[in-house]
Chains A and B, each alone.
Chain A
Amino acid sequence: MTMEPLLLPNIPDLHKLEVYEANGGYQMLRRALEMKPEDVTAEVKKSNLRGRGGACFPTGLKWTFMPKSTDKPKYICVNGDESEPGTFKDRQIFEFNPHLLIEGALIAAYAMGVSVVYIYIRGEYIAWIRMLQQAVDDAYAKGYVGQKILETGFSTEIYLHRGAGAYICGEESSLMNSLEGERGYPRVKPPFPAQFGLWGCPTTINNVETIANVPLILRMGAEAYSKIGAPKHPGPILVGVSGHVNKPGVYEMPTGVLLTDIIHKHAGGVPGNKRIKAVIPGGSSTMILRGEQIEGVAMDFESLKAAGSSVGTAGLIVMDEDTDLIRVITRITAFYHHESCGQCTPCREGTGWMHKILTRFMNHEATMKDLDLLLDVANNIEGNTICALGDAAAWPVQSMIKQFRGEFEQRVMRSAEAPVASHAAV
């Protein structure tokens, strides 16, 4: 499947406003402003766009949760926290097509009657924040953003908000707390953001790439858009490929492309033509798959679900036959332990315990009981926390044990054989 890139078209200097305008930029904002707001939402709903931030939630449906009549201000938060290991796609939009994001945010704001859009970006992306700020300033200067946009009655502001280093702030309720100036603790849901979001006001949080798809839907029409790629999860998708491939990078493609094609055709295959041992399909929180399992599996919601994993952020991490998977899962678990916000005991303590047990496997000090304990701890984190970070920490461990139990057992057996030697070295 090939497709002309839509999110990241190969147009030099597209980040400049005049180039974006010369290529049809902000025409969809004009079109949207001539439509009724609810018709814009209906079009997005009809397109079957699903969120690109990890949960694959239907975007149009999410928009309909916003109350139509309320005396409170309404907000959009565009989630550019992009901190899921293996994910590096939103920064491409900030750098190469920032006006598509801005135009999408304006259309979304019009559709939901929103007067302020905050674009929350991770603190480390300071260079990209500056790039996007430049684009926002240019759009303000041309009257696309601000008061009485394009001389209509519609007004909305766009403000960038810089984070300061916390993975958890990519979780939508944590993002809102961070934006309010609090510690980035996730909130208990319900109430959901559309009822009780920023400062208790109706709020919708969408990922950067999700919002960037909105102008494309209006340009093509929902009908045509919904025919791109996988029917239940249509549209272009930015797939980030990293790890053991010859050409790592972000590739735009329709949803529904086979993982094997992504790895071999787009990303140039595995160095040395080595066998693929394992693949993490959508960022480090998604369930790991065995190399032989990915035959026939495609980068879309349904296909990856059937395979026992998920699309996540479409950050595909490839591991060749020589990869030490115990080391991989120990590193991933160290990450979740570091990033746990500390509110919920199962996650705060459990991620630390998992890391300790995995370190025993790393050091050849583990027993078979440790494997049971590790799984037990993971199972007791899953589903028992306020936010999805708990699940995100548990799933990689659970799936690693399920798919590669032998790797753990091998460490146990080796440790049983050589405990004296390893202790003697200390």
Chain B
Amino acid sequence: MFSDQQLSRIEELKKRYQHPRSVVLEALWMWQDEHGWISEEGMKTVADALGIPPHDVFGVVSFYTMFNRKPVGRHKIEVCTNVSCMLRNSDRILKHIQDRLHVGVGETTPDGRFTLVEAECLGSCGTAPMMQVGDRYHEDLDPQKVDAILEGLK
């Protein structure tokens, strides 16, 4: 369920577009920010709020990589391994995190704290290697810096 506040925000956003469907990404963001992932209930709720069929919402969710289609850890770590980061040894960063957290790519730590994934270019090529954790970019990484960042995330 969306709260009244969320629903009035959605109504406000609808006015910006010719069709309410345009609010689908923003409504999905609202859901994911609150629940951490997009469940079937989430898709149905978004569909109802916009007056579009749930399967259309599913089509959107499955198209974009940032929507989690299953629960993830409290902190989703996304390590860029695309070419500019690769040239600056993103391998070392990814391996360091895997070793430290004892998880593989796509896995979540048993305590539910971290999920580790590989990301495509995140636009930090000049400050490579980098990772995104939640909303935040962490750039110019080395293993020590990664350790300090991970320790700060409870």
Whether, in the assembled complex, B107 has its beta carbon less than 8 Å from a beta carbon of chain A, the answer is no
Give the complex CA separation of A88 and B80 in angstroms: 13
Cβ-defined contact, A180 with B22, below 8 A: yes
Identity of the chain A residue whose Cβ is nearest the Cβ of B85 in the assembled complex: A242
If the complex has contacts A124-B132, A126-B135, are A86 and B121 also in contact, measured as CB distance less than 8 A?
yes
Q: Measured between C-beta atoms, what is the minimum distance from A239 to chain B in Å?
A: 10
State whether A331 and B84 are in contact (beta carbons under 8 Å apart), knowing that A179-B22, A249-B126, A339-B120 are contacts in the complex: no
Chain A nearest CB from B105 CB (Å) reads: 13
Segment at the interface with B among A21-29, A137-145, A159-167, A381-389:
A159-167
Beta-carbon nearest neighbor of A129 in chain B? B135
Say whether A210 faces chain B, with CB atoms less than 8 Å apart: no
A331 touching B125, Cβ below 8 Å: no
Q: Which residues of A contact B132 (CB under 8 A)?
A: 124
Do A124 and B123 touch across chains, with their CB atoms under 8 A apart? yes
Residue in B20, B25, B84 whose CB lies within 8 Å of A85: B84
Question: Chain B: which residue is nearest A183 at the CB level?
Answer: B63
Q: Is the CB of A164 within 8 A of B67?
A: yes
Tell me, yes or no, whether B43 is within 8 Å of chain A by CB: no
Which of chain B's residues 112-141 have a Cβ closer than 8 Å to chain A? 119-128, 132, 135-137
> B65: CB under 8 A from chain A?
yes
A 120-140 to B, binary, CB cutoff 8 A, 1 in contact else 0? 001111110000000000000
* A85 with B120, Cβ < 8 A, contacts A181-B22, A323-B87, A331-B81 known: yes
Give the distance to chain A from B23, nearest Cβ to Cβ, in Å. Answer: 7
Residue of B nearest to A396 (CB): B83
The count of chain A contact residues (Cβ–Cβ below 8 Å) is: 57
User: A201 to B66, alpha carbons, bound, how many Å?
Assistant: 29
Given contacts A180-B21, A243-B84, contact A86 B125 (CB under 8 A): yes
The one of B21, B22, B66, B82 in contact with A335, judged by C-beta atoms closer than 8 angstroms, is: B82
From A88, A116, A157, give the contact of B124 (CB < 8 A): A88
Q: Which of A85, A159, A180, A317 has the most CB of B within 10 A?
A: A85
Contact A332 B65 (CB under 8 A): no
Chain A residues 165-181 with CB under 8 Å of chain B are: 165-167, 178-181
CB contacts (< 8 Å) of A284 on chain B: these are: 82-83, 121
Say yes or no: is A91 at the interface (Cβ < 8 Å to chain B).
yes
Q: Is the CB of B125 within 8 A of A83?
A: no
State whether A123 and B66 are in contact (beta carbons under 8 Å apart), knowing that A248-B126, A339-B120 are contacts in the complex.
yes
Query: When the two chains form the complex, which single residue of A85, A88, A164 contacts B64, counting CB atoms closer than 8 Å?
Result: A164
Q: Is the CB of B126 within 8 A of A162?
A: no
Whether A338 sits at the interface, judged by CB under 8 Å, is yes
How far is B60's CA from A163's CA once the two chains are assembled, in angstroms?
11
Write the nearest CB–CB distance from A166 to chain B, whole angstroms: 5
Q: Which of B100-117 contact A (CB under 8 A)?
A: none
Q: Which residues of B contact A417 (CB under 8 A)?
A: none
Q: State how many angstroms separate the Cβ of A252 from the closest Cβ of chain B.
A: 13
Confirm or deny: A52 has a beta carbon within 8 angstroms of a beta carbon on chain B: no
Chain A nearest CB from B135 CB (Å) reads 5
Name the residue among A86, A123, A181 with the largest chain B CB count within 10 angstroms: A181
Which of B60-90 touch A at CB < 8 Å? 60, 63-67, 81-84, 86-88
- Determine the distance from Cα of A242 to Cα of B80 in the docked complex, in whole angstroms: 14
Task: Decide yes or no whether A182 CB sits under 8 A from chain B.
Answer: yes
User: Which B residue sits closest to A180, measured CB to CB?
Assistant: B22
CA distance A159 to B14 in the complex (A): 12
Verify if B59 is at the interface (C-beta below 8 Å from A).
yes
Tell whether B154 is near chain A: CB-to-CB under 8 Å. Answer: no
Assembly CA distance A335 to B65 (angstroms):
13
A184 to B132 CA separation, bound complex (whole angstroms): 23
Alpha-carbon gap, A91 to B122, bound state (A): 11
Q: Does residue A87 face the partner (Cβ distance < 8 Å to B)? A: yes
Most chain A beta-carbon contacts within 10 A, residue among B65, B87, B120 = B87
- Contact of B87 (CB < 8 Å), options: A122, A167, A244: A244
Picked from B29, B119, B125, the residue with its CB within 8 Å of the CB of A315 is B125
Given contacts A180-B21, A181-B25, A198-B18, 8 further A-B contacts (CB under 8 A): A157-B16, A161-B25, A184-B63, A242-B125, A284-B82, A284-B121, A331-B86, A338-B120
Chain A to chain B: the 5 pairs with minimum beta-carbon distance, closest first = A181-B21, A165-B66, A242-B125, A164-B64, A165-B65
Question: Can you list 20 A-B pairs, Cβ within 8 angstroms, ordered by A?
Answer: A86-B83, A87-B123, A91-B123, A126-B135, A127-B136, A161-B25, A166-B64, A179-B17, A181-B50, A181-B52, A181-B60, A183-B63, A199-B18, A242-B87, A248-B88, A327-B86, A328-B83, A332-B83, A339-B120, A341-B63
